[in-house]
Structure 1
Amino acid sequence: MIVPAEVVDYDPRWPLWFAAIRGRLAPYLAEVSHRIEHVGSTAVPGLAAKPIIDVDIVVPSAGLVPTAVARLAAAGYVHEGDQGIAGREAFALPPDAVHYHHLYVVVDGNKAHRDHVLLRDHLRADAADRERYAARKRELAHLLTTDRGAYVTGKGALVEEMIARAGGSPTAGGPGRTGA
């Protein structure tokens, strides 16, 4: 599956794509206490975004992370570790993925999970910041085909500002650490 490399206007199909992804994941996690959350820009109605669905598998304790990782491996996902963001386990897609998405396992309320939720909820509630963020992403979109890291870094200060204003605090995770 080709990684989307453009920023597009909000697509009302994104929540449906998330529902399809959640439906595919749920049977593999049936024996694990969890919830599946739509986070990231595609979870914010009206926000321009890369057409990539960000999904958090939220478990209640760190002790359940290895079990969730094993269950997702059984579903064809490849565990990629925390990718430099403590508290967030990332996965590569299985070959049969229908919609491109980023998948993470997080512990309920940890910093990585809070940052995802704080940014999502802030952007849902604040139209001015939603527009600022969309404009910044469009300004940087040309980097998506040449330097995705620079794209993420270029959004970093604004993401950090919005998370802080939403009640979060800075961390050593670095700018743009949410991936949104």
Structure 2
Amino acid sequence: MAIEVVPADPAWPEQFRRVEEDLTAALRGVPVIAIEHVGSTSVPGLAAKPVLDIDVVVARTSVAGAIAALERARYRHRGDLGVSGREAFEAPDADPRRHVYVCVEGTLHLRNHLAVRRVLRENDELRQRYAATKQTLASDPDMDIDRYLAGKSAVLQEVLALSDLTGDEKAQILRLNTGGPAT
């Protein structure tokens, strides 16, 4: 299946705000630390797959309550999909298309998302190179998601070089992005 990467859409921040309101209502009673718009759609001016990535940040003790609340709101729980400290959900509708994750505060997965967002928002040159890399990869009609993720790894490592993640954490992220074991 082809990978779709589109120019930045100025509607993405408003779409996130609508989903954030819905998630806040669905999670009423669950101690949520933050609801973060992450991924490429959270970076102004960055080409992206037209799917919002949203991290619902909770303490480890609140994960079960967050899962139950989202299931009541008709989100389908998909498990951790191999990423410890993160629970994935399929949205009950496609308005907008989105991936929603419940993330334990402080985990590497969450810190990676926030670091990439921060660096790409601050660094025009890296943002442009990342967009060009994604567009080039997506232009291959035979591209699959695993090759797409691996193909972005080199520029993502440059992005992470400007983050506050440790060398070991950056190596773990590289292994995850290129299909190796996270250890």
Shorter-chain TM-score tier:
0.7 to 0.9
Instruction: Specify the code of the residue in structure 2 equivalent to 1:23.
Output: E
2:56 equivalent in structure 1: 57
**Does 1:109 find its partner at 2:106?**
yes
**Does 1:14 find its partner at 2:12?**
yes
Counterpart Cα distance in 2 of 1:42 and 1:104: 15
Q: Which residue of the other structure, out of 70, 73, 78, is the alignment partner of 1:72?
A: 70
After superposition, the Cα gap between the structure-2 partners of 1:90 and 1:144, relative to the gap in structure 1 and judged at 3 Å, is farther
After superposition, the Cα gap between the structure-2 partners of 1:44 and 1:176, relative to the gap in structure 1 and judged at 3 Å, is farther
Shift of 1:8: 1.1
Counterpart Cα distance in 2 of 1:77 and 1:4: 26
CA RMSD in angstroms comes to 2.1
- The structure with the largest alpha-carbon Rg is 2
Report Cα offsets for 1:58-85 as digits up to 9, x if no partner: 11x2111111011111111111112122
Q: Which residue of the other structure, out of 97, 100, 123, is the alignment partner of 2:97?
A: 100
Instruction: Specify the code of the residue in structure 2 equivalent to 1:47.
Output: L
Q: Is the 8 A contact 1:77 1:92 kept in 2?
A: yes
Shift of 1:133: 0.4
Counterpart Cα distance in 2 of 1:141 and 1:78: 28
Counterpart Cα distance in 2 of 1:43 and 1:120: 7
Say which SS state the counterpart of residue 166 (structure 1) adopts.
Answer: coil
Q: Which residue of the other structure, out of 86, 89, 97, is the alignment partner of 1:88?
A: 86
Shift of 1:146: 4.8
Say how many residue pairs are matched. Answer: 173
After superposition, the Cα gap between the structure-2 partners of 1:124 and 1:32, relative to the gap in structure 1 and judged at 3 Å, is same
**Does 1:37 find its partner at 2:36?**
yes
1:120 equivalent in structure 2: 117
Counterpart Cα distance in 2 of 1:149 and 1:63: 32
Shift of 1:25: 1.3
After superposition, the Cα gap between the structure-2 partners of 1:143 and 1:68, relative to the gap in structure 1 and judged at 3 Å, is farther
Say which SS state the counterpart of residue 71 (structure 1) adopts.
Answer: helix
Instruction: Specify the code of the residue in structure 2 equivalent to 1:136.
Output: T
Counterpart Cα distance in 2 of 1:150 and 1:16: 31
**Deviating 4+ runs (over 2 angstroms):** 142-146
Q: Which runs of 5+ in 2 are unaligned?
A: none
Shift of 1:144: 7.2
Shift of 1:165: 2.4
Shift of 1:89: 1.2
